[in-house]
Homo-oligomer: A and B are copies of this chain.
Amino acid sequence: MKYSLSEENYLKAIYHLEKIAATGVATNAIAEQMETKPSSVTDMVKKLSEKKLVNYIKYQGVTLTEKGKKTALTIIRKHRLWEVFLVDKLKFHWDQVHEIAEQLEHIHSEELITRLDKFLGEPDFDPHGDPIPDKDGNIKRTEKKLLSDLNKNQGGVCVGVKESSPEFLQYLDKKKITIGTKIKVLGKEFFDGSMVILVGKDQSFISKKTAENLYVQTN
């Protein structure tokens, strides 16, 4: 029931990779994500397999079992709730909280999370717009598109970021874009995918890369 810091981090990494990988998650992919070596991954994956947290067949990558997925989701839940705490209560900026939440997510206490959740008003999303799983691991799925998929004259509200590195978040601040900001596509350049958008009342220019990392809810 209680796993080590390392085991928890592996589960989380595999969970995130599983969402994008069609097939089993590759050893190399995990190694890259965790900034460790493939041989270390193999070792850990064997251990997780013995604990019935992942399905593992040599040379064929891993997938999470139900138990593994559930465990990963409780860690993600903790991570995101702590991020809400840091931003809403301690007034951290949204680009400063991930690192600290990486530590806080490993605190073991169900009671703590139950109370923290209530204290925060049972939020559905974290400061980056990512959904917070409930205690049973259910995630409230919402309609959202990448800004890059909108066409000229379409608009919506920014509801999340795909990338959430401090660098990107700070850039968004400079552009006056944050969760809840209204955005409308005024023009889209075919050549490089760059856009001219309306942010609130002001016009702004953004690159394709930026547009591909912003989620919006269309209206």
Contacts and interface: CB of A to CB of B under 8 A. Distances in A.
A130 B69 CA distance: 41
Contact of A100 (B86, B92, B109, B119): B109
A31 interface: no
Interface string A58-96: 000000000000000000000000000010011110001
A206 interface: no
B104 A90 contact: no
A112 interface: yes
How many copies, total? 2
A85 to B, nearest CB: 10
A91 B115 contact: yes
Nearest to A96: B111
Nearest to A90: B115
A7 to B, nearest CB: 16
Classify chain A: how many residues form its interface, as a range. Answer: 10 to 19
Name the prevailing secondary structure of the A interface residues. Answer: helix
Contacts of A57: none
B109 A107 contact: no
Contacts of A96: 111
A209 interface: no
A199 interface: no
Contacts of A92: 111, 115
B109 A90 contact: no
A103 B111 contact: no
Nearest to A91: B115
B103 A90 contact: no
Interface of A: 86, 89-92, 96, 99-100, 103-104, 107-109, 111-112, 115-116, 119
11 contacts: A89-B119, A90-B112, A90-B115, A90-B119, A91-B115, A92-B115, A99-B109, A100-B107, A103-B107, A103-B109, A104-B107
